[in-house]
């Protein structure tokens, strides 16, 4: 089958959504399909505007590209869009060009779910000014008019069915997978676990950093043998501005991690991973930490909603300061719980291999094509 992929994110494996897009294309190729990918720099309307009004420019640009390349587009058996900014392009395909191939939205995060989850945060901070532009009608049109939607998590799928009204048979979820290095890594020397609590991710409100800034100092004061490790925040993070001066000698910072091997080592030396995020479409860092044997404390979001709470991770419905503090304290005080959780977490994430993803993707495509054939 000949498949056209139009992406709203850079097709670069080292970057967030690009990691999923590139590996999905590889999975499609491994299934025997021909895949052509069009990156966003070929799709954006008025690219000189850079970050301004990007969603609107993508909405216009993707549609413009589809129409301008209509003869080429007509040669494909399947079109996959990334991003519901493709709404106008979906309209052009189906109602202007009247093409009949199935169209799939492979979402790296349902836009309406992000909006829903961020409402409270937006009201309390100016961080997310983009929220004030209501684009929900654009996104809803796309969800309603594609032939199928693939999400990254059951968390997104359940929201689509329960809150947006998408028919259950129309929406699927396939969990992304860990990089192969996680399954193949052999350290040169044995890694020794230490009493370390670790956080990994950008240092922004959406990631639950307020709870981290308030709960972790209380933990460090109560448990002087523990240290706190902060990974992947970038160069702008300054521990002295975020934590009490008296605790700074017990806070380790690794703003940029150069390799996945180094990331694995930093996780594997730690015993607890704290990530009280408000919203993640998947949250790969949670899966990475679980694979490396950390006992995880997470917000009820993304991948964490599809693990066994209390057995494979502690998943907090309300990841505020008090609940984060209580969860971390419980893991420190209860060695058996922490150690069993680490074992169960590793076993759960063993499933996250691209070979398994390929098989699930093939099954979804077969379902979509069969449904379309009998429609």
Judgement on whether residues 171 and 229 belong to the same structural domain of the protein: no
Judgement on whether residues 218 and 121 belong to the same structural domain of the protein: no
Q: How many domains does the chain have?
A: 2
pLDDT tens for each residue of the chain, 375 residues long: 999 999 999 999 988 889 999 999 999 999 999 999 999 989 877 665 666 667 778 899 999 999 999 999 999 999 999 999 999 999 999 999 999 999 999 999 999 998 888 776 654 444 444 444 667 888 999 999 999 999 999 999 999 999 999 999 999 999 999 999 999 999 888 899 999 999 999 999 999 999 999 999 999 999 999 999 999 998 889 999 999 999 999 999 999 998 999 999 999 999 999 999 999 999 999 999 999 999 999 999 999 999 999 999 999 999 999 999 999 999 999 999 999 999 999 999 999 999 999 999 999 999 999 987 666
CA–CA distances in Å: residue 137 to residues 66, 142, 151, 296: 21, 9, 19, 37
Judgement on whether residues 208 and 140 belong to the same structural domain of the protein: no
Judgement on whether residues 80 and 92 belong to the same structural domain of the protein: yes
Judgement on whether residues 297 and 366 belong to the same structural domain of the protein: no
pLDDT score of 128:
46
Judgement on whether residues 67 and 202 belong to the same structural domain of the protein: no
For 220-228, the CB contacts below 8 A with 24+ separation are: 220/247, 220/250, 221/247, 222/329, 223/195, 223/332, 225/195, 226/195, 226/196, 226/197, 226/250, 226/332, 227/194, 227/195, 227/196, 227/197, 227/251, 227/252, 228/196, 228/197, 228/198, 228/199, 228/252
Judgement on whether residues 171 and 185 belong to the same structural domain of the protein: no
Locate 102 and state its tokens.
Answer: 């199935």
Residue numbers of the domain that contains 104: 2-177+353-373
Judgement on whether residues 14 and 105 belong to the same structural domain of the protein: yes
Q: Is the dihedral of CA 113, 138, 367, 356 positive or negative?
A: negative
- Classify burial at 168, counting beta carbons within 10 Å of its beta carbon; exposed 0-12, middle 13-18, buried 19 or more: exposed
Judgement on whether residues 334 and 257 belong to the same structural domain of the protein: yes
Judgement on whether residues 30 and 171 belong to the same structural domain of the protein: yes
Judgement on whether residues 368 and 340 belong to the same structural domain of the protein: no
**Full DSSP string of 97-156:** S---S-EEEE-SS-HHHHHHHHHHHHHH-STTGGGGS--HHHHHHHHHHSSEEEES-HHH
């Amino acid at each position: 089958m000949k498949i056209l992929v139009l992406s709203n994110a850079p097709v670069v494996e080292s970057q967030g959504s690009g990691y999923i897009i590139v590996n999905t294309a590889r999975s499609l190729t491994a299934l025997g399909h021909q895949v052509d990918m069009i990156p966003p720099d070929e799709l954006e309307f008025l690219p000189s505007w850079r970050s301004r009004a990007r969603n609107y420019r993508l909405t216009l640009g993707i549609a413009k590209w589809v129409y301008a390349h209509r003869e080429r587009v007509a040669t494909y058996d399947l079109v996959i869009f990334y991003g519901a900014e493709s709404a106008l392009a979906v309209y052009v395909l189906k109602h202007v060009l009247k093409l009949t191939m199935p169209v799939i939205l492979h979402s790296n995060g349902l836009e309406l779910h992000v909006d829903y989850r961020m409402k409270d945060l937006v009201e309390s901070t100016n961080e997310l000014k983009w929220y004030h532009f209501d684009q929900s009608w654009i996104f809803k049109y796309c969800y309603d008019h594609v032939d199928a939607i693939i999400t990254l998590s059951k968390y997104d799928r359940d929201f689509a069915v329960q809150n947006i009204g998408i028919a259950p048979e129309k929406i699927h979820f396939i969990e992304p997978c860990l990089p192969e290095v996680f399954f193949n890594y052999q350290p040169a020397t044995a890694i020794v676990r230490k009493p370390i609590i670790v956080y990994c991710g950008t240092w922004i409100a959406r990631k639950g950093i307020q709870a981290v800034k308030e709960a972790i100092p209380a933990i460090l004061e109560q448990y002087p043998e523990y240290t706190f490790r902060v990974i992947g925040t970038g160069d702008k993070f300054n521990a002295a501005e975020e934590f009490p001066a008296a605790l700074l000698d017990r806070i380790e910072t690794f703003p940029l991690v150069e390799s996945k091997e180094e990331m694995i080592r930093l996780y594997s030396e730690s015993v607890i991973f704290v990530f009280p995020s408000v919203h993640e479409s998947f949250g790969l860092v949670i899966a990475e930490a679980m694979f490396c044997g950390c006992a995880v404390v997470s917000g009820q979001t993304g991948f964490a909603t599809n693990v066994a709470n209390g057995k494979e991770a502690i998943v907090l419905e309300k990841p505020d300061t008090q609940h984060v503090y209580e969860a971390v304290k419980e893991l420190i005080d209860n060695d058996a719980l922490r150690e069993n959780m680490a074992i169960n977490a590793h076993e759960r994430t063993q499933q996250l291999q691209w070979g398994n993803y390929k098989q699930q993707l093939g099954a979804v495509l077969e379902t979509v094509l069969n449904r379309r054939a009998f429609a």
